[in-house]
Structure 1
Amino acid sequence: YTGLKNKTVTEGESVTLECHISGHPPPTVTWYREDYKIESSMDFQITFKAGLARLVIREAFAEDSGRFTCTATNKAGSVSTSSEEVTGEPIPPFFIRKPVQFGPAHFECRLTPIGDPTMVVEWLHDGKPLEAANRLRMINEFGYCSLDYGVAYSRDSGVITCRATNKYGTDHTSATLIVKDEKSLVEESQLPEGRRGLQRIEDYFHSFEIRY
């Protein structure tokens, strides 16, 4: 049985804890953080193959810090080993994917660290904060940030900025939104043709001579 080693990682990074276990009959392996049993999930991947017990934390955050224990149990008894701490060192926000425009007026970007309770995400138009309203929808979930315009007008054209701030710093990223004036397009493309059609109808009726 080889013990766990202490780990210190940067917040948002993956971390692996592992130890070698042997026994007959093959033991059952259980992982704990402090006194809480860890269940295998997308965030915590647990495996035990060929005598190697492994716990992979997909993304480590400050709240994951603590004592991790691996316990092996069979009919002969049980044995445990612990790591002192897994510390997610706090970092300022960082956009890992710049804003991308999808459709007429939908922007989205990716942000790290994920799960920071001090993180504040804002959307700005030409430097002025935007607020969620009937035609504006904003989402900030698990590092995914998006801004949707239900209806966009020409006055919405400008620089769209997503700004993230936590107690360790700030970061921002921007894209440009251009909304064409639909009214001017209609006047140029449709109304002149309509006037010509009306003129043809008037000319048609004027060509008739009415006799009694």
Structure 2
Amino acid sequence: MSHSRLICSETISYQDLHKHQPTFSFSCESVTLECHISGHPQPTVTWYREDYKIESSMDFQITFKAGLARLVIREAFAEDSGRFTCTATNKAGSVSTSSKEDLVRPHFVERLKNVSVREGSRLEMAVKATGNPNPDIVWLKNSDIIFGYCSLDYGVAYSRDSGVITCRATNKYGTDHTSATLIVKDEKSLVEESQLPEGRRGLQRIEELERMFLHCIYIHFLSLI
């Protein structure tokens, strides 16, 4: 009497093969999807993205060795997002496990705006960035990096801080940036500007503030299984 059995893990795990600094290209690193499977006789493994069967090709590498079913997306793009399913089948039946992976290139939902402030005042410039995985944030002034985290605190704004401020968000699926002109005016500049017609004063004025603080806000994505 022969017996057939099939066991598939209840979850499918995702692992990035390569961990290194993100690039500014829209092409991406490879992404690996894995499912641990055991069964007798040895099951046949099939991968799907949404309802479409995935075949081995230059874009997708499919292997099943020592109980480990693996799908490698050789060069992942945001459009590869979706629900992936691993199905194992033998005489005992068929089982499947799925997981949804959202690959999202960075995007600024709220962008920087031009602003003018009095020297010695406080200024807050805020942005909101989306992306999965969460993007790395870099701040620049006139193309020179001034800080590598999500917040930038000048303490007190001086005229030398004037320039083009850029916030750049990057993950392995792409990059986005937003820029604005910051003008910090001394008393002489303020007096001269006050003599201009109202319509020519241009940039937004923020007064009665004490220090300069720039930050960004992430919008997190949750993967649903």
Structure label with greater radius of gyration:
1
Structure with greater strand share of residues: 2
* TM-score between both structures, scaled by the size of structure 1: 0.43
Query: Which structure carries more relative contact order (alpha carbon 8 Å, separation 6+)?
Result: 2
Structure with greater helix share of residues: 1
